[in-house]
Amino acid sequence: MTTTHFWRSAIDPLRVMSARVLHWEEEQPQQREEALAVEEPLEVRLNQRSLAVIMRTPGHDRELAVGFLFNEGLLRSPQEVLQVTEAVDADGLPLPNVIEVTRRAEGSPVEQATAACQATFERHFAVSSSCGLCGKNSIADLLTSIAPLEPDGLRIRASVLYTLPERLRAAQALFSHTGGLHAAALFSREGDLLLLREDVGRHNAVDKLVGFGLLQNSFPYREHILMVSGRTSFEIIQKALYARIPCVAAISAPSSLAVELAEQAGITLIGFLRGHSMNVYTHPERLLSAS
């Protein structure tokens, strides 16, 4: 029996750990150092009430907390966010991995505003790095609370979309070391990289993008393209709908429910975006050819 040794990496001590592993090449094993993406819990509190524990990669935690609360319907606009701070204990000392969001006291109490998810929160449900917290029963239920996107507005050249995977990959600094992080990025219609976040959870990476927009008052993202490094799930499209993102592109495949939601939500959904080819699953009218 062996014991794995971990230590903080000089690459990024907050988000990367180093570990000694036994690497096999053909029939020959040898010891070597490998970089690992850090995964730690983050407790999110709203108005001093603990709502969820999210397994995430540290960094941009305030963005993650605010984006998560917005995408779960617990915040409705940037104006509702009064303060976002690291929580402190009774002695005023910082509590690691705990973010406190203070919401303006207006309208109904938080307990009433969170009725749809309250049972989950009461159990202090831990959100894993591969799933969302509070799934909607159906697409129809979701679209009763938020309107689909209008077909006008954003138009994108196919030639621009073909450049996005390489630009995304080149900007994934931590993935290049660990190979264990998802990425989500916002691009302009001209293909300029505007914002990128990496995390062990693909949903967390999108929440961080949304949280940035809310905290910086650059929200919603009506003229942006969302690019994700993995597959596209129902939850990713749901978050894009809340953020009013008209186009979602991915290197891998979408799920069937993601396609159904994108169609009804008015979102252009692109998958298998690799090289100079892609599948356009929904709303192809936003794409322009060179001819």
Q: Determine the straight-line distance between the first and last CA of the chain, rounded to whole angstroms.
A: 64
Taken as a whole, the chain contains a residue count of 291
For 98, other C-beta atoms within 10 Å of its C-beta total 20
Distance of alpha carbon 254 from alpha carbon 237, whole angstroms? 10
Concatenating the DSSP letter of every residue in 189-238 gives: TT--EEEEEEESSHHHHHHHHHHHHHHHT----TT-EEEESS-B-HHHHH
Dihedral angle, C-alpha 272, 286, 163, 130, nearest 10 °: -40
Q: How many CA atoms lie within 13 A of 261 on its CB side?
A: 28
156's tokens: 């994108």
Tell me, what DSSP letter sits at residue 104? -
Query: Catalytic residue among 117, 131, 134, 247, which?
Result: 131
Cβ atoms of residues 131 and 203 within 8 Å: yes
| Calpha distance 115→120 (Å, rounded) | 10
Q: What angle do CA 259, 70, 280 make, to 5 degrees?
A: 20
Q: Is 131 a catalytic residue?
A: yes
* Cα separation, 256 vs 251, whole angstroms: 16
Residues with a catalytic annotation lie at 131
